[in-house]
Amino acid sequence: MQTTIMLTRPDDWHLHLRDGKQMRNVLPDTARQFSRAIIMPNLRPPIVTVEMAAAYRARILAALPVSLQGQFEPLMTLYLTDDTPPAEIKRAKESGIVHAVKLYPAGATTHSDAGVTDIARCFSALDRMEQLGIPLLVHGEVTDSMVDVFDREKVFIERVLQPLTQRFPGLRIVFEHITTRDAVEFVRAASENIAATVTVHHLLLNRNALFSGGIRPHHYCLPVLKRETHRQALIESATSGHSRFFLGTDSAPHPVSGKESACGCAGIYTAHAAIELYAEVFEQAGALDKLEAFASFHGADFYHLPRNIDRITLVKESWSVPERLTFGDEFLIPLRAGERVCWKKLT
Ligand code: NCD
Ligand code: ZN
């Protein structure tokens, strides 16, 4: 039995850090493990300009504890709106700090009310992104209330993503936090310009986890967990060695009061144990030899960034996840709270 894993330091290609005191609480969890992370722009107000992204980046760097300073690089993104001017895309390219633009269909998820109401409104911005080689990151769900919530990703592929790839064949797109066999098949069949991130919670859990013994708000995220056959497809894709599937935690912290509510927020916090939990998934799939490429190579290659050089070590050592973690003036409940994780990253 393998008891040690050594791998090139990984990156997280999809992360929610929030801001202020809350950010100061969660940031060290990510920076301890990952060298870089793509920072989601869905703050209130959203990060819609390069100037806002630069200010947010400076706040992130200032929030790093002394021991992690110089060891973590936030890769910033812009929040695409109906009115994003192509000139802002050009500024993003020139900035060197903005690495992608995020598409949230309006109303699809947490803080998406400023998102895109009709993709056609963004064609001039997308055109510029295609020219300049800036990736589009996609929250791939339709918001049509007539579409069943479990089918929203599949319908998004048909209605939005497939046509988009035809209209902008040179646009690089990351289909974020994929949850279905349909998404896996779409990415496999698509061109080299289309990739996907896979979260650890979608690899670990199927939709039964939402209802085991009662309703489980801490397992609620968007896109919502799907049935087992989809989880199996995600495991196959992540552990296959295919270069267009890579790690993106979508770790999305919310205070307990926001989750344990009559109308609870979407988002699962996994940053406290991310690489260890991915290791568990890959071990169970008999594919530990594929973890490094998924976690440390494929994303950097797709973003045209250098691969990291330093290495981390995980050991087979069971540890107990805290029941709760401090989050601003409140607490958050991490995935596996009060339960055990079987791999541990050495500090
Ligand atoms: C994210 C959040 O809380 O910001 N929530 C989630 O369930 N994943 C938003 C998102 O990525 O959809
Ligand atoms: Zn997200």
Segment 148-190, tens digit of pLDDT: 999 999 999 999 999 999 999 999 999 999 999 999 999 999 9
Q: Tell how far the Cα of 127 is from the centroid of ligand 1, in angstroms.
A: 27
Ligand 2 is an ion; residues with CB less than 5 A from it: 250
112 lines ligand 1 (CB under 6 A): no
Q: Tell how far the Cα of 290 is from the centroid of ligand 2, in angstroms.
A: 24
Q: Residue 266 CA: which ligand is closest?
A: 1
58-94 confidence digits (pLDDT tens): 999 999 999 999 999 999 999 999 999 999 999 999 9
**Alpha-carbon span 153 to 342, nearest angstrom:** 32
**Alpha-carbon span 347 to 340, nearest angstrom:** 19
Q: Tell how far the Cα of 109 is from the centroid of ligand 2, in angstroms.
A: 9
Transcribe 115-164 into DSSP letters.
SBS-GGGGHHHHHHHHHHTPPEEE------TTS-GGGHHHHHIIIIIHHH
152 lines ligand 1 (CB under 6 A): no
Q: Tell how far the Cα of 40 is from the centroid of ligand 2, in angstroms.
A: 7
Tokens of 301: 């290659």
250 is catalytic: yes
Q: Mutate which of 43, 222, 251, 259 to test ligand 1's pocket (most atoms within 8 Å of Cβ)?
A: 222
267 lines ligand 1 (CB under 6 A): yes
- CA–CA distance from 121 to each of 18, 34, 156 (Å)? 28, 36, 17
224 lines ligand 1 (CB under 6 A): no
**Alpha-carbon span 314 to 47, nearest angstrom:** 35
| Per-residue pLDDT in tens (0 to 9) along the chain, 347 residues | 899 999 999 999 999 999 999 999 999 999 999 999 999 999 999 999 999 999 999 999 999 999 999 999 999 999 999 999 999 999 999 999 999 999 999 988 888 889 999 999 999 999 999 999 999 999 999 999 999 999 999 999 999 999 999 999 999 999 999 999 999 999 999 999 999 999 999 999 999 999 999 999 999 999 999 999 999 999 999 999 999 999 999 999 999 999 999 999 999 999 999 999 999 999 999 999 999 999 999 999 999 999 999 999 999 999 999 999 999 999 999 999 999 999 999 98
Closest by CA to 190, choosing from 123, 243, 247, 249, is 243
In sequence order, the 6+-apart residues with CB closer than 8 A to the CB of 94 are none
